[in-house]
Amino acid sequence: MIKVKVLEDTGNSVTLQLEGIDRSYANAVRRFCISEVPSMAIDDVVILENSSVLYDEILAHRLGMVPIKTDLERYNLPEECDCGNPLGCHKCRVLFVLDAKGKEKVTVVTSGDLVSEDREVRPVSETIPLVKLAFGQSVKLEAYARLGRGKEHAKWQPCTVAALTDGKTEGTFNLMVESAGGFPARQVVLKAIELLEKKLNEIQVAVGAAK
């Protein structure tokens, strides 16, 4: 009999005590949390103007690492979207615009300066520094965020921590997951289980059809 007890749930992190589950199954859930559950991250950047000290590539990389609020119900993975458009559509990508100018001696451009076309899809924190501008320098760009998976690039990992440890009592394990902020930690675990089940079903069908 499988028993699950919530030892802690702060929204951003969750610790579950698992009983009656083999360690390998619990570890599969942990691994799915890291590499299979999708989350939103900036993937394509069109730089229109950049007179800052950062190269375009560095700026694009910094944008990619900004954790973004993710709505898994409204957005599709680009490869699963029915638009079939390599540029994406409103169901598989979100446009961000950044238009910043150095107005004082040093202007710090932060994630809060990114303007999203979808109010629900925005940086988790507004205070992440992106680039510093001296007076007169400017950065103007368009950035496209999309869903992706941690196995493609770490920027798409929905959690910063997913750890499996031995529980206090014999035969129990503690699964601790800390969200990167895109959506609650408990949702990361639930989605991981859903995707693991989907994969197992695919294997079941494939084995049944194998000759």
Tell me which stretch binds Zn ion (CB under 5 A): 38-46, 73-81, 160-168, 183-191. Answer: 73-81
Does position 89 interact with Zn ion (CB under 5 A)? The reply is yes
Taken in order 200, 206, 208, 211, the sign of the CA dihedral is: negative
Token pair recorded at residue 8 = 């802690």
Q: Is 145 in the site for Zn ion (CB under 5 A)?
A: no
Residue of 54, 72, 83, 193 that binds Zn ion (CB under 5 A): 83
How many helices (H) and strands (E) the chain has is answered by 3, 10
Among 81, 97, 128, 196, binds Zn ion (CB under 5 A): 81
Distances from the Cα of 191 to the Cαs of 67, 73, 183, 206, in angstroms?
A: 18, 11, 11, 23
**Closest separation in Å from C-beta 81 to Zn ion:** 3
Q: Smallest distance from the beta carbon of 68 to Zn ion, in angstroms?
A: 17
Q: 171-195 as b/e, with b when 16 or more CB fall inside 10 Å?
A: ebbbbbbbbbbbbbbbbbbebbeeb
The neighbour count for residue 49, using CB atoms within 10 Å, is 13
Residue 147 in the binding site for Zn ion (CB under 5 A): no
Say which residues have a Cβ less than 8 Å from residue 114's Cβ, sequence separation at least 6.
63, 66, 96, 97, 98, 122, 123, 143
Q: Is 92 in the site for Zn ion (CB under 5 A)?
A: yes
* Shortest Cβ 91–Zn ion spacing (Å): 5
Among the candidate windows 36-44, 85-93, 103-111, 173-181, which touches Zn ion by CB under 5 A?
Answer: 85-93
Question: Which one, 26 or 72, has the nearer CB to Zn ion?
Answer: 72
CB of 65 to Zn ion, least distance (A): 24
Instruction: Show contacts with Zn ion in window 104-123 (CB under 5 A).
Output: none
For residues 17 and 197, give the distance between their C-alpha atoms in angstroms, rounded to a whole number: 20
Q: Find the shortest distance in angstroms from Cβ 96 to Zn ion.
A: 17
Chain residues in the site for Zn ion (CB under 5 A):
81, 83, 89, 91-92
